Amino acid sequence: MKKRNWYLRLGVVITFAVAAFTLVGMFYTPYDATQMSSADKYAPPSLSHLFGCDQMGRDIFSRTLEGIGTTVTIALATLAIGFLAGLVIGALCGYYGGLIDEIVMRICDAVTAFPSTLLAIVVIAVIGSGKYNVIAALGILFIPSFARLVRSEFIKYRDRDFVNMAKLTGVPPLRIIFVHILPNTWPVLLSGLTIGFNNAVLAEASMSYLGIGVTPPDASLGRMLSEAQGYLFTAPWYTVFPGLVVILLILGVGMIGEGIRERIGEKV
Amino acid sequence: MTNEIILHLGNVNSYYGRGKARKQVLKNISLTLHKGEVLGVVGESGSGKSTLAKCAIGLVTDIEGERKLNVENSQMVFQDSYGSLNPAKTVGWILEEPLRVRGLRDKKELRRRAVEMLQTVGLEEEHYDRKPSQLSGGQRQRVSIAASLIQGSKLIILDEPVSALDVTLQAQILQLLVDLKERLDLSYIFISHDLAVVYQICDRVMVMYHGEVVEQGDVDAVYDNPQHEYTKKLLEASLSLG
Ligand SMILES: Nc1ncnc2c1ncn2[C@@H]1O[C@H](COP(=O)(O)OP(=O)(O)OP(=O)(O)O)[C@@H](O)[C@H]1O
Ligand SMILES: [Mg+2]
């Protein structure tokens, strides 16, 4: 019992810290994140530039603050699209089953057969890069895995006697689905959301890293890491700090997910 | 008792599973339930009693034969009271849901009706905010009964409704069921493995064996003069126990 809570608690603490950092970055950065200064090129960490400066003399601390905001926003927006659509599709398919369910699941199988980052790259190649296109591409590609997760939960509950009882009572099907069954699935769905969030962060980072995600001058953690690789030896702090933030972000959310899974005694 | 027919099954076969796994569970079941009647169903474990109940009420849909249900709403008290109460909801919510679905919105009135029903089945107001997992088996069974009574169904199928209760409580709930039946003109199908209880509250009884009805008739007639070997054995076993 004790050990389980340990995961969850530390995860919550880390995530809160990162979230606070993100929120601050939305309203305040010590310097303008896009302001260049030739005097500060490759400046190492110091009191005036906590995380040092990059190849254009921009303050890395400020850029990290702003970048994490972009990355988290993209991840959350992606998640919102993927989760909401996946929820509706998965709930209906799982509850009703039948031919339509079969067809929808075959389509999901086909989509998830490819790594989602790869597919996102293809989509981006077609619709172009930029923050909103990344959100759209990743969001849509996340739908099948959420649909599958939600569906399997609904299959678990649809034949339970409390559902039978609701049917006999004359509760409308949509109310059975979203009011009677859905609350039972939250622990599993929440844990799925944490995995989805981390995948979205990594997908955004890798797409921006490949130069097809967030476009300059927007800062995102992925973009910063991508730029930083050219200066790994001249300015290691450029890689280290944004990298650490990505790791903390993923670690915190991942631990929350793990904590939830342990608590409900299930491996997803 | 009138002659109005509430439920009729004619030569019903029922199946579980699909494709190769499809397996027949009920064979050639016929029964007629009249208004105000209590029909007992007895038989060994696995003989198909719960399946019969689910067929009758329309929850098992893979059936052949004739099925007519002449009431607007019917309800079932399920054998497994754990599975029949929504784990994510409170007792109060569960009891209020049928009323909400029928359009009652007033929170105070909803609560009043739920608490009243809790007290009717011998529970307290303090159980209103509990989750089903925070109740004992017998308490859950009573919440199930309360949840089926609160909606004013004219036909209630009771699948071992009192099996987890001690003798006094059992007698109390059975008396309640009988009273309500008289007052509200209900009809019951009452599934039980306790032949004494069946004798006490049923008008007619059906004996099931391996998915078939081997004997059916008035309780007195069947108990006094059992025709089928299996019924005789069942009665002997229960007499030697009692
Ligand atoms: N959902 C199901 N799928 C497949 N087979 C089932 C299912 N439910 C019950 N059965 C099978 O149908 C047969 C009848 O089961 P049923 O539950 O109706 O028996 P019962 O008479 O109610 O027994 P008990 O007294 O133990 O409750 C059993 O052989 C059982 O294994
Ligand atoms: Mg049974």
Residue A174: exposed, middle, or buried by beta-carbon count in 10 A (0-12, 13-18, 19+)? exposed
Residue A115 in any domain: the answer is yes
The pLDDT tens digits for B186-216 are 999 999 988 889 999 999 999 999 999 999 9
Distance CA(A137)–CA(A96), nearest Å, equals 28
Binning chain A into helix, strand and coil, the percentages to the nearest 5 are 75, 0, 20
A164 with B85: Cβ contact below 8 A = no
Query: Residue written as tokens 């029909």?
Result: B39
Categorize the per-residue pLDDT at A268 as very low, low, confident or very high, splitting at 50, 70 and 90: very low
Q: Report the number of distinct structural domains present in chain A.
A: 1
Residue B41: exposed, middle, or buried by beta-carbon count in 10 A (0-12, 13-18, 19+)? buried
Q: Please name the residue ranges forming H helices in chain B.
A: 49-57, 91-101, 107-120, 137-149, 167-184, 195-201, 219-224, 229-241
Among candidates B57, B83, B151 on the partner chain, residue whose Cβ is nearest the Cβ of A160: B83
Q: Among A50-54, A65-69, A76-80, B184-188, name the one with the lowest average pLDDT.
A: A50-54
Query: Residue written as tokens 């109060």?
Result: B92
A159 touches B: beta carbon within 8 Å: no
- Peptide bond just before B87 cis, omega within 30 deg: no
Residue A62 in any domain: the answer is yes
Q: Among B123-127, B143-147, B163-167, B203-207, name the one with the lowest average pLDDT.
A: B163-167
What pLDDT score does A117 carry? 73
Residue A250 in any domain: the answer is yes
Residue A163 in any domain: the answer is yes
Instruction: Calculate the average pLDDT of chain A.
Output: 86
Calculate how far, in angstroms, residue A230's C-alpha sits from the geometric centre of ligand 2: 71
Coil/strand/helix, residue B104: coil
What pLDDT score does A3 carry? 57
Q: Quick one: tokens of A81?
A: 């699209």
A164 touches B: beta carbon within 8 Å: yes
Among candidates A162, A172, A186 on the partner chain, residue whose Cβ is nearest the Cβ of B86: A162
Task: State how far the alpha carbon of A108 is from the alpha carbons of A96, A105, A147, in Å.
Answer: 17, 5, 8
What pLDDT score does A267 carry? 40
Distance CA(A203)–CA(B87), nearest Å, equals 37
Domain residues for A201? 3-26+58-267
Residues 174-193 of A with CB under 8 A from B: 175, 180, 183-184, 186
What pLDDT score does A2 carry? 52
What pLDDT score does A219 carry? 78
Residue pair B57/B69 in contact (Cβ under 8 Å)? The answer is yes
Q: Please give the number of the atom of ligand 1 that sits closest to the Cα of B44.
A: 25
Q: Quick one: tokens of B48?
A: 């198909």
Q: What is the CATH number of the domain that holds A234?
A: 1.10.3720.10
Q: What is the pTM of this model?
A: 0.86
What contacts A257, CB < 8 A, 6 or more positions away?
A11, A190, A191, A193, A194, A195, A198
Q: Does residue B79 have its Cβ closer than 6 Å to ligand 1?
A: yes
Residue A44 in any domain: the answer is no
Closest listed residue to residue A150, CA positions, set A198, A83, A201: A83
Residue A48 in any domain: the answer is no
Q: Which of A162, A188, A189 to probe by mutation at the B interface, max B CB count within 10 Å?
A: A162
Q: Please give the number of the atom of ligand 1 that sits closest to the Cα of B47.
A: 21
Could you report the predicted ipTM of this complex, rounded to two decimals? Answer: 0.90
Q: Quick one: tokens of A111?
A: 């989509």
Distance CA(B77)–CA(B188), nearest Å, equals 11
Q: Compute φ and ψ for B70, nearest 5 degrees.
A: -105, 30
Closest listed residue to residue A92, CA positions, set A105, A81, A106, A76: A105
Q: Does residue B216 have its Cβ closer than 6 Å to ligand 1?
A: no
Residue A255 in any domain: the answer is yes
Scored b (16 or more CB within 10 A) or e, A2-18 reads: eeeeebbeebeebbeeb
Residue B48: exposed, middle, or buried by beta-carbon count in 10 A (0-12, 13-18, 19+)? buried
The pLDDT tens digits for A175-232 are 999 999 999 999 899 889 999 998 888 888 888 777 777 777 777 888 888 788 888 8
Calculate how far, in angstroms, residue B39's C-alpha sits from the geometric centre of ligand 1: 20
Distance CA(B106)–CA(B170), nearest Å, equals 33
The pLDDT tens digits for A219-265 are 788 888 878 888 888 888 888 888 888 899 889 998 988 888 887 76
Q: Does residue B207 have its Cβ closer than 6 Å to ligand 1?
A: no
Residue A171 in any domain: the answer is yes
Distance CA(A259)–CA(B22), nearest Å, equals 41
Residue A156 with chain B: CB contacts under 8 Å: none
